[in-house]
Structure 1
Amino acid sequence: MRRSRNIVSAGLLALLLAGCTLLDEQTPGELAVRGARVQATVDGAMLELALDCRLSGPMSDALDRGIPLTLKVELKSPQAALLRRVELRYFPLSRRYLVRDPDSGRVLRSYAASAALLDGLRALHLPLGRDGSRLTGPELRVRIGLERSALPGPLRLPALFEPAWHLRSPEYAWTTDAG
């Protein structure tokens, strides 16, 4: 009788520890915009962002296995809205982490380590092209989040329901010099 109680107690303890581990794995990542501005360029405009980004465990694991993570950047003014995407990707053969524009295929930055990639997001320059000239007004807003629909098929369903796949910044607003 006493032995069966010990076995049951040990089993309950194991389940409790497994549950704590599972909860820890379900902690979402963190993404925040610390600063933003739109700068005029010869080719149109450039969005300069200062981001703080911490990926969850499953997101980091996916990235390290070569699964691209696409961030959707929503930029709004009172007159217009733009949508841009940024892809974070690891190429195992070259052992490089890249920040890419998936629409043009252009590599924006390249890093040797995932920590350097996330640190590099503190100064992200995203070309807006001629569309950037439509962004006028006294205030601009930006919001960034993981584009779950860009994940491979087997990850899309878990990304909808599991907190570890939730990554979205609060909206960041700033005033512009030209209003």
Structure 2
Amino acid sequence: MASTTPYSRNGRRRDEGNSRIPRRYPIAASPTDSGRSCALHAQAAPVPGMAARPSRRSLLGHRRDSSHRSLRGSMRSGGSRRSFEVPMTRLGGGLSGWLLALTGLGAAVALLPWQPVQAETRVIDVHAEVREQAVFLDADLAVHLDAEVIDALRNSIALNLVVEAELVAPREWLWDRRLLGGKRALRLEYHALSRTWMVTDVTARETHTFSKLADAVRSLSRIRAWRLGSSTALPKEGRVLGKLRVRLDINKLPLPLRVPALFRDDWDLGSDWFLWRFPG
């Protein structure tokens, strides 16, 4: 009965004597480190019927660049350990490699999708003066709406803003004394049937209609000729400071949206107090 083991009695493989099976990667030992040890390197033998591949030196005309490194390791096979060496090419040497990496990072950031501006309301400028024995105020706001707020507007949810303004007499030891003040309610809503945007000054009972949201927000951001009160409440001497801020009237929102409006940045439409010296 023929033996099925790949080894003969003398310990050699049966296919070693078969010349028809080429050994593509014979192992040759080369002495290194003054003969104390030897490293095993894989050498590619020519395959019958195939032309020999030209070396890197014959193609480029010079030796391999110093920027090429190799990954070395070892593996155990058949009771013996064999070492291997895999050539690797790094990005580049020194500063040029870092510049190339930073250039690629900048290109990746530039390809990121554009992120919309978060909801925000700021007071840009305020002007107040006395006319006809009354104090009138003009204010310019910067209102940015988030995509979620715009989607809520398109689903017939009105956005109510409250503008608060005060004139105070500052004091060193106690809180400021309030001289004049008032609130102005503004509402922004979308009419789906006519596809128009409406800005309503609830305090003045005025409504303006716009075909574009940008025009409606621009109208919402401009407050003109707001009468705060009689100028007789102002002191004849001493400093007078003005304060103005904008906040979202959360109580006018539907009940399911009130809690998210308190904690989410998408609905953060309140501004800080804007201070200025009166008159001015």
What TM-score does the superposition give when structure 1 sets the normalisation length? 0.70
Paired position in structure 2 for 1:147? 249
Greater share of residues in helix = 1
For residues 2-151 of structure 1, what are the structure 2 equivalents within 5 Å?
28-38=118-128, 46-78=136-168, 79-103=179-203, 105-107=205-207, 109-125=208-224, 127-128=226-227, 131-133=228-230, 136=234, 138-151=240-253
* Inter-partner Cα distance in structure 2 for 1:169 and 1:118: 16
* Inter-partner Cα distance in structure 1 for 2:140 and 2:155: 26
* Inter-partner Cα distance in structure 2 for 1:69 and 1:47: 23
% identical aligned pairs: 27
Helix, strand or coil: the match of 2:259? helix
- Aligned-residue offset at 1:144: 0.4
* Inter-partner Cα distance in structure 1 for 2:209 and 2:129: 23
What are the Cα deviations for residues 102-153 of structure 1, in whole angstroms up to 9, with x where unaligned?
345421x32111111122344332644xx53267462211000111111122
Q: Is the 8 A contact 2:186 2:220 kept in 1?
A: no
* Inter-partner Cα distance in structure 2 for 1:153 and 1:165: 14
* Inter-partner Cα distance in structure 1 for 2:273 and 2:126: 11
**RMSD of the TM alignment (CA)?**
2.8
Task: Give the letter for the 1:118 counterpart.
Answer: V
- Aligned-residue offset at 1:68: 1.0
Paired position in structure 2 for 1:158? 260
* Inter-partner Cα distance in structure 2 for 1:110 and 1:53: 18
What are the Cα deviations for residues 29-86 of structure 1, in whole angstroms up to 9, with x where unaligned?
11111111235567x6543221111011211111222211111111111113312211
Helix, strand or coil: the match of 1:132? strand
Q: Is the 8 A contact 1:50 1:121 kept in 2?
A: no
* Inter-partner Cα distance in structure 1 for 2:152 and 2:220: 18
* Inter-partner Cα distance in structure 2 for 1:72 and 1:83: 7
Distance 1:49 1:154, change over 3 A: same
* Inter-partner Cα distance in structure 2 for 1:126 and 1:60: 29
* Inter-partner Cα distance in structure 1 for 2:222 and 2:188: 14
Helix, strand or coil: the match of 1:80? strand
User: Which structure has the larger Rg?
Assistant: 2
Q: Select between 140-149 and 166-175 the one with higher mean Cα deviation.
A: 166-175
* Inter-partner Cα distance in structure 2 for 1:149 and 1:143: 18
Q: Select between 75-84 and 141-150 the one with higher mean Cα deviation.
A: 75-84
Distance 1:40 1:58, change over 3 A: farther
